[in-house]
A and B are shown apart, each in its own frame.
Chain A
């Protein structure tokens, strides 16, 4: 198991993403951050705090569960639904920034776009991810990336966050074939 990002690396990456989001969105007034549970949700709240300190005004932030829209439900054991919390101003006509921890096949983001479509019609949707590990299976790319990490398909990328895991770090390990 290799640690590829330390707590400090994560902090720096998030700070940079926060600045990039602010730059590309002249102001945070018409912007809504939606994190994809579980870890993407925590990242969204961290980014919101960072953006608020940059902009000096509050940011709309919430969570968006993609489970019901996934195309691999039937391949896995039944899973519990995560919370979807849309902030008061909703998504209609706003810029929505989806936040996830790892961008891989792109299927979660596709499900998120479908879920979003049922809630309302944003004027624009952007994507922020802490890690882009490649191997896309859909024509999806991130607007804001913390770090690009080339990986083999046989490897697993794990993001740990203090809110749930007690520590901030990103590790790569080889999957044990069973």
Chain B
């Protein structure tokens, strides 16, 4: 594993190894000394061409706990917003000696372009690209699900997980479908037909247009952020109708079976796809997702950067 661009590129074994590594690294957060010397002297660039405070901070915290030097390069005030090309940016980062670039970009495939065009030699980590993928989010979601529902198992075999909302525009959904099914879970996508991509029939998932009838069979409900602008693009009539059919409210939380968990990648539109009481209910692991994010991202950085990736890992 040289880069982390898409969940499609990693094997079941690699995914489990990331989750196991994250489990060990999570213990560091419980010790008085939260810093490890592991990536001392390594330079990691946070290249955020799109606003995302939480993902950037999470990666930054992960890198710093491993003692890497972190350079933040975000869209406001950077040359990226001044029309500098991705190629020029990459060559600049190469000249600066970046060992890894964590990239968030509005264009699907931008991290893949960065990794494959030989403009720079460092590792590329996709922190969310357009409507394509968000691999580290899926890994932290899988980590959170395994922790609550895994019962000591390494993967998610047999768990039933619902992903609800704007699948069409969601990179979180794409990465999660790939990862959760790779780890053995059954995934149901619950959305209005307008917010499912044409071609979704080729995905290894069940499709449902009816949230209520899908509810009781689910072990975890993952709510997706819905942007209100979609209303103007005719994906649904208005916010009220969307919430009525696809929002998570306390009645729906009650209909979940005991032990089921409620997730959201954030940032939430409270009142649209999730009501405040559902987000703050005892079932909700939303806040924990954030803290797990740091451990999972530490694991990603450790596995990509600590060793010499040109050598194949033994057994």
Contacts and interface: CB of A to CB of B under 8 A. Distances in A.
Whether chain A touches chain B in the assembled complex (some CB pair under 8 Å):
yes
B151 interface: no
Contact of A73 (B1, B27, B32, B306): B306
Nearest to A78: B307
A74 B17 contact: no
Given A84-B24, A84-B27, A77 B38 contact: no
Nearest to B21: A81
Contacts of A114: 37
Contacts of A117: 33
Contacts of B17: 80
Chain A: interface size category? 20 to 34
A68 B37 contact: yes
A65 B24 contact: yes
Interface in B8-27: 17, 20-21, 24-25, 27
A81 B311 contact: no
B1 to A, nearest CB: 8
A8 B37 CA distance: 41
Nearest to B42: A74
B185 to A, nearest CB: 23
Chain B interface helix/strand/loop/mixed: loop
Interface in A42-87: 65, 68-69, 73-84
A165 interface: no
Interface string B25-53: 10100011101111000000000000000
Contacts of B313: 77-79
Contacts of B35: 118
Given A76-B307, A81-B21, A68 B312 contact: no
A72 B121 CA distance: 22
A119 interface: yes
Nearest to B36: A68
Contacts of A65: 24
Given A68-B38, A68-B302, A76 B20 contact: no
Interface in A107-124: 114, 117-120
A83 B24 contact: yes
B303 interface: yes
B31 A81 contact: no
A78 B37 contact: no
Nearest to A71: B37
A17 to B, nearest CB: 28
Contacts of A83: 24
Contacts of B302: 68, 78, 81
Contacts of A118: 31-33, 35-36
A114 B21 CA distance: 20
B229 interface: no
11 contacts: A68-B36, A69-B36, A74-B308, A76-B311, A77-B312, A78-B307, A78-B308, A80-B17, A81-B25, A117-B33, A118-B35
Interface of B: 1, 17, 20-21, 24-25, 27, 31-33, 35-38, 302-304, 306-309, 311-314
Interface of A: 65, 68-69, 73-84, 114, 117-120
List the 10 closest A-B pairs by CB distance, nearest first: A78-B307, A77-B311, A118-B33, A81-B24, A77-B313, A68-B38, A73-B306, A68-B36, A81-B21, A77-B307
